[in-house]
Amino acid sequence: MKRALITGITGQDGSYLTELLLSKGYEVHGIIRRSSTFNTGRIEHLYQDPHDPDQRLVLHYGDLTDSSRLVTLIEKVRPDEIYHLAAQSHVRVSFDEPEYTGNTTGVGTTRLLEAIRMVGIDTRYYQASSSEMFGATPPPQSEETPFYPRSPYGAAKVYGYWMARNYREAHGMFAVNGILFNHESPRRGETFVTRKIARAAARIAQGKEQFVYLGNLDAVRDWGYAPEYVEGMWRMLQAEQGDDYVLATGTATTVREWVQYCFGAVNLDWESHVRFDETYLRPTEVDALIGDASKAEKLLGWKAQTMPDQLARIMVEAEMKDLDAAR
């Protein structure tokens, strides 16, 4: 039985990846942070009793800032595959907490890579790189596009990208960079713009709120569906050698168009409900991300299936269902 270790298992991608790996017969180990409230909501439905002799999902406390713990965990689990998804992943927040973002999203990657090297196991490593690394470089962006990060988060991800490549080139590690464009789902964090808007549209439709406050409506993003992207991560680690791949839909949607899709799904006129708040502007913005995923299609047979307009509907319907269930 293959064994995988996932950092960031409690996040959006971690939860879908866990479902995928369990369905493929893996034993899955995940690192969670100690917190005073439960932070395992996204994987609650996958929980397995530690007393069950057939348990295939095991959770361990740990943190990206704690190198010795990463070493002891790698030694204990000895995974065949490591998916490094944990990060302070919010771009706007990274301007408020640049040092913390660098420490976790950037140096946290080095701590993990170094823990693997110190323990000396032969494993395959996935690095959650990001289209934010392209920043100000105009679209379309592919594996060959130069990086120009526009936030402390983007800069930290560029550092992590190069560390993963360096461990591949210097130490012969099977290390992969998945350069993923924005991917969303009903499990997306509530403060990312797609979920924030889908949630607001549903709540306004049900009379719970009247307005949603947003920043820049002109930004262009390439929004895909998260469950499809974790399949791409897995395929990258099954390839013959470590390499770097972009995953994206190749489509361009503005935040304004996303608003129209979501409010359209509940038959509301968005202009009566959207208000501007400069709090949500970034000191430096990434104007346009549109990915070219042709390498992943050619080498991994991966292609995005769900397009942004369908995705918006999926997310608004999920919000409506949750509100109905809570009644």
Distance of CA 290 to the CA centre of its chain: 17
Q: Which does 14 bind (CB under 5 to 8 A by kind): ligand GDD, ligand NAP, none?
A: ligand NAP
Strand 183-184 relative to strand 224-225, pairing:
parallel
Q: Which does 282 bind (CB under 5 to 8 A by kind): ligand NAP, ligand GDD, none?
A: ligand GDD
Annotated binding-site positions for NADP(+) = 125
Site for ligand NAP in 128-167 (CB under 6 A): 128, 130
Q: Give the x-and-dash track for 72-91 against ligand GDD (CB under 6 A).
A: -----------------x-x
Q: What residues contact residue 257 under an 8 Å CB cut-off, 6+ apart?
A: 308
Q: Give the C-alpha separation, 152 to 182, whole Å.
A: 17
> Minimum distance from CB of 134 to ligand NAP (Å)?
11
Q: What letter represents residue 248's amino acid?
A: A
Determine if 85 is a binding residue for ligand NAP (CB under 6 A). Answer: yes
Q: What residues contact residue 208 under an 8 Å CB cut-off, 6+ apart?
A: 323
Q: Give the x-and-dash track for 16-35 against ligand NAP (CB under 6 A).
A: ---------------x-x-x
CB 92 within 8 A of CB 142: no
* Binding footprint of ligand NAP, residue count (CB under 6 A): 26
Nearer to ligand NAP, 31 or 315 (CB): 31
| C-alpha closest to that of 130 among 81, 177, 191, 185 | 177
Determine if 113 is a binding residue for ligand NAP (CB under 6 A). Answer: no
Nearer to ligand NAP, 42 or 266 (CB): 42
In the chain, alpha helices (H): 12-23, 67-77, 91-96, 98-101, 108-119, 152-171, 193-205, 226-238, 255-265, 294-300, 308-326
Q: How many helices (H) and strands (E) does the chain have?
A: 11, 13
Determine if 193 is a binding residue for ligand GDD (CB under 6 A). Answer: yes
Site for ligand GDD in 253-312 (CB under 6 A): 255, 280, 282, 285, 289
Catalytic residues: 130, 132, 153
Helix, strand, or coil here: 276? strand
Residues in the chain: 327
Strand 27-32 relative to strand 3-7, pairing:
parallel
Determine if 182 is a binding residue for ligand GDD (CB under 6 A). Answer: yes
* Among residues 88, 94, 141, 145, the one that binds ligand NAP under rule CB under 6 A: 88
Contact set with ligand NAP (CB under 6 A): 7-8, 10-14, 31, 33, 35, 39, 63-65, 85-89, 104, 128, 130, 180, 182-183, 189
Contact residues for ligand GDD (CB under 6 A)? 89, 91-92, 130-132, 181-182, 191-193, 196, 214-216, 219, 221, 255, 280, 282, 285, 289
